[in-house]
Structure formats: C-alpha cells, structure tokens
Amino acid sequence: MKKKNTFTYLLIGLGLCFSSLGSGLRADTPENYTNNRYPLVRKPLMELPLGSIKAKGWLQEMLVRQKNGATGQMDKLYPLVMGERNGWLGGDGDQWERGPYWIDGLLPLAYILDDAQLKAKVQPWIEWALKSQREDGFFGPAKDYPGEAGIQRDNSHDWWPRMVMLKILQQYYSATNDQRVIRFMTDYFRYQLKTLPEKPLGNWTFGAEFRACDNLQAVYWLYNITGDSFLLDLGKLIHQQSFSFVDMVNRGDLKRINTIHCVNLAQGIKEPVIYYQQEPDKMYLDAVKRAFRDIRQFHGQPQGMYGGDEALHGNNPTQGSELCSAVELMYSLEKMVEITGDIDFADHLERIAFNAL
C-alpha cells in the first residue's frame, strides 16, 4: 500500500497549541477550535484550523517545491491513476486508495500555501465525494471493474479508502467551515453503525482492520462538533473490530521479524491512544510506550524509523525503511502528542521530520 503524501505533516504538527489558551480566543473564533466533548478525555493540546499558521523561510521553500514538483503535478505525472478516470472522480479507473492518498497531501498543501491553483485542483475530488453519497449514507466508488494493468479496479466498497477520504474532508472543513461535511459524515457514520455488524472492517481487505484508527479519530472529531451519542457507540464498535495492537505488544510480536506490515504498524500504533479518549485505561498508553521500546531495540534506525520494506525486517543497516511508514508514523505521533501531551512523541516526530524525509 504505497502512497504519495507531503511534507505538510511537519507544519500540521506545528499547528498544535495548549488548550488552556482557549479561554483567551476572540469571540469570532471559528467553531473548529475544539477540544474533546464529555465523556471523551480532555486533550492537553489541540490542533489549530488548517491554514492558521503560514510557512516562511526554509519551510515555505520546501512547500513551494512540493507544489512545483510531484505533489502538485501528480495528475500530469501519473494520469493513469490520478487522471479523470479515477473512481473518486466518477471514472472507471482506479477505485481504491491511491487517489485519496494524493489528495490527503495536496489539500493541506493548497490551504497552507493559500494557493488558488492547487485549491482548484483539489475541489473536484471534494465535490464528487460529497455528491456521491447515497440515501443510506454510503459514499464513494461503488462498482468493481475487470482487472487492468497498473490500476486497482476492485474492492470499490472497501471501508479502508473511505477512511482516507474522511480525513481529507476533516481537513477541508477545518480550512473552509463547509457545513456540508458535517451532514455528510453524520449520515455515513450512521451507515457504518448499521452495516459494520454484517460487513465488518475486514470484509474486503485486511487494511481496514489495521488502520481503523483513522476512521475512529474521525468519529471522535465529529462527536466533538455535534455531540451525537450514536457516535460513541460507533467508536466502540470500530475499536472492537480493529486489529488489537495491545495484544500484539503483549505477544512480543514486535521483537520478531515479519510479524506486521510496516505501514500498518505506522498507522495503527496510535489506535490504543485514540481509543483511550473514550476508555481512559492506562494500559492503552503503556502498550504504545512498550511498542516503541521494542521497535527501537529490535528494528530501530538512527533517523527515528524502523527497518521495514513491506514487513518488519529488523535493524540490518543494508535494508531501509519505507517513506510511507515515515509519513504515517509522523501523523500517528502528532495525534498521540495532541491527546497525551507526552513530549517524547514530539521529540520522535521531530527526529523523523528532519532526518527520515
């Protein structure tokens, strides 16, 4: 599961502020300055709306390079997948994760740079996703096609790519306050609560079970805006159907090789901390700390990453680590420092940002 993402994770990570500053916000502060709503555990940090912080100097130069490079031109460089045939634009081409993965990086880049050209490139993907929603709440590509070299045309109903699009829509709402996103996500989450018992996360692919925390964080995000109690029921259900990273740590899986896909680990390692907000049992935080200790000891590399090209492979210096893992672990660390305030996560994030990318 390869992805094209962007260096904007560093700037997004800088968009965390102490929630205690909330009392000093102006009266016209946007509603998307939100902390956790009861009964979720209150966060010591909160993320500022996308675009609140503007890059300057070296960081701005890096972002402009992305705009002028592959991130801003992927539809031209990779038209087979990112062009008009993409299923997330209504076409008969690639129906799975790669289109949303690109937009997950392109959208924050567009709004951090406040770049009209990039915003225009992003908007058709947003509009198609919103307009694709059915009456029952389902959205996105809904038809499988025969195989074709170079593109993924099956598993169109899989839960996993929709988790990426939910994250995109969160960022879009954060930047624009477009209220369509709230109704859209509410209807989809009602669909999930109704459908997951019959078609669980792993019904189509295993990725959704390992990466369900991205779905879970979106559920809590919406709950903090609407207060709809059914979202807490959905949160428990998603957690129950997720791969258990706590059990994985307890089994000692991270002390061995070939026990988990390296990107699944990078994305999923935050699941216990995400769920901790709803069930504040310290075992979830302890499990993640133990996981990082095992990773450093048995697979660790100096730049903050771990040995893994597809599966975990130890710390052999002749083998590397995937860029996919780096950007996903950065995002996981951002969310974990936001929820816990643990500066160890921030230090780890900084090490990866300046040494692994």
How far apart are the C-alpha atoms of 79 and 76, rounded to whole Å? Answer: 5
Rounded to two decimals, what is the model's pTM?
0.92
3-class DSSP assignment, residue 346: helix
Instruction: Please say whether the beta carbons of 301 and 249 come within 8 A.
Output: no
CA distance readout (Å), 28 to 24, 35, 50, 176, 223: 12, 17, 16, 15, 22
228 domain-assigned: no
Q: What's the pLDDT score for residue 31?
A: 54
The domain total for the chain is 1
d(CA 207, CA 261): 10
Does residue 237 fall inside a structural domain?
no
**What's residue 357's pLDDT?**
86
Q: Is residue 337 part of a domain?
A: yes
331 belongs to a structural domain: yes
* For the chain, the helix, strand and coil percentages under 3-state DSSP, each to the nearest 5: 60, 5, 35
Residue 293 falls within a domain, yes or no?
Answer: yes
Give the residue among 311, 292, 192, 290 at the shortest CA–CA distance from 241.
192
Structural domain boundaries enclosing 268: 245-356
Q: Tens of pLDDT along the chain (357 residues)?
A: 444 444 444 444 445 443 333 333 333 444 556 899 999 999 999 999 999 999 999 999 999 999 999 999 999 999 999 999 999 999 999 999 999 999 999 999 999 999 999 999 999 999 999 999 999 999 999 999 999 999 999 999 999 999 999 999 999 999 999 999 999 999 999 999 999 999 999 999 999 999 999 999 999 999 999 999 999 999 999 999 999 999 999 999 999 999 999 999 999 999 999 999 999 999 999 999 999 999 999 999 999 999 999 999 999 988 899 999 999 999 999 999 999 999 999 999 999 999 998
Residue 334 in any domain: the answer is: yes
Phi (first) and psi of residue 312, to 5 degrees: -55, 135
Helix (H, G, I), strand (E, B) or coil at 321: strand
